[in-house]
Amino acid sequence: MTYAQEASGGLGRPTAHADEDRPPDLVTALARARSAEDPGPDTPAGPAVRAWPGPSRPIPEPGPGELDLRALLRLSLAASDRSGRLRPAPSAGALHPVDTELVVGAGCPLPPGRYGYDPLRHRVHRLGREPDGTPPGATVELSVTPRRTVSHYGHRAWPLILLDTGHAAAALWLAARALGTCAARLRLDGLAESPLAEVHFDLPERTDQVRPRDGTRWTDPCLGSGAPTPGALLARRSAPPPLTGTPSRDVLRAVLATAVQASAGELSWCAAVGEPQPELVELAPDGTLRRLAAGEARPTLAVWAARQAWIADAGAVLLAYGCPADADAPRIRRAHLRAGFAVHLAQVAAVRHGPAARPVGSWQQADLGAALGTPPGRDWIVHGLALGTTHPDEEKTS
């Protein structure tokens, strides 16, 4: 790993050097990921954490009125096992490609500056000074080391990497909700290659508008659902298949409503159910469920989702779709970041209502619009969440 000396006079930031870590032509990468081509054999994933320079330090307890950065990161990104696979945020293949830098302003338990976060040790490395104009509070910048995900998914990795980043942003956003002491603002606009996404935490008493350095607006979705508890965020896991048993219409409605609101108009949403009547349902403007199409979709979904047979028996499959074939790179980034963000919130909402849930992110030839008889190339499945009411452990003992 080589390090570029940072203009702001710090210890410098690592520069990625592996071919897999160069940003791709995203339009071509997505078209290839959506094709029937199989990925090749696994390649080395490299280290689970970026090699931040210099010594590490703990994140201190906050003083009165300070931002509790330690708890925010513990509830969102910190690993709970030594390999780093288990974290409050899910990740395709548990490969966790997302890297985290903190831009710390006034009112935080760390001196203002830029820091690299080590999720395995829950410690930070000081990288340099904070940029001029850094607002009070802290901004979490999410960038990626693609090689970790490429190691297993090959050419299918890029949509997963973007979805993973959306999930990480959601985990940070939910951590602020669970603590209830600070407002979190999101940048998921897809405009920048790096960092791909940002979450700004205001100081506990400040909730007025803060703008990111590129001048775009932060957005803050006002979700109707209540805040999760810190314990629920730490306990979040993706339920292992099989996930059978159809969730009730009320639960499907609540999960769809969460996803629709969280995706801020970026994508369309529906759910495939098998029982009592196979159909695709969506949320009507009045908040009720209505039929989008009749018929059994789950076996086709299983084939489209990298031939994961268990999806054909899932109780329901929530689907985010859109992101047309002619989308440019910012739109591709925005759609996938938003889908990851929304599916994460939907997963937490589903579990709060009872059902088990598991994200499903690898989709090939999944032109849902074409399958429903609308023009092809416009409504591709971008992300999914399998839902079931029957816990595998209960099945074993019954």
Ligand X SMILES: Cc1cc2nc3c(=O)[nH]c(=O)nc-3n(C[C@H](O)[C@H](O)[C@H](O)COP(=O)(O)O)c2cc1C
Q: Which residues bind ligand X (CB under 6 A)?
A: 86, 90-94, 160, 163-164, 167, 237-238, 305, 308, 340, 358-362
CA 398 to CA 387: how far, in whole Å? Answer: 20
CA 260 to CA 287: how far, in whole Å? Answer: 11
Rank residues 305 and 317 by Cβ distance to ligand X and give the closer one. 305
**Nearest distance in Å: CB 345, ligand X:** 13
Rank residues 218 and 321 by Cβ distance to ligand X and give the closer one. 321
Looking at residue 156, the DSSP 8-state letter turns out to be: G
Closest-CA residue to 333 (of 151, 169, 209): 169
Cβ atoms < 10 Å from Cβ of 212:
20
CA 347 to CA 199: how far, in whole Å? Answer: 20
Rank residues 249 and 307 by Cβ distance to ligand X and give the closer one. 307
* Helix, coil or strand: residue 204: coil
Rank residues 181 and 300 by Cβ distance to ligand X and give the closer one. 300
**Nearest distance in Å: CB 241, ligand X:** 6
**Nearest distance in Å: CB 124, ligand X:** 23
Q: Which residues of 79-108 are buried (b: 16+ CB within 10 A; e: fewer)?
A: beeeebeebbbbbbbbbbbbbbbbbbbebb
Rank residues 338 and 358 by Cβ distance to ligand X and give the closer one. 358
Q: Is cis: bond before 276, omega within 30 of 0? A: yes
Cβ atoms < 10 Å from Cβ of 206:
16
**Nearest distance in Å: CB 28, ligand X:** 20
Rank residues 86 and 312 by Cβ distance to ligand X and give the closer one. 86
Closest chain position to ligand X (CB): 361
**Nearest distance in Å: CB 131, ligand X:** 30
**Nearest distance in Å: CB 112, ligand X:** 32
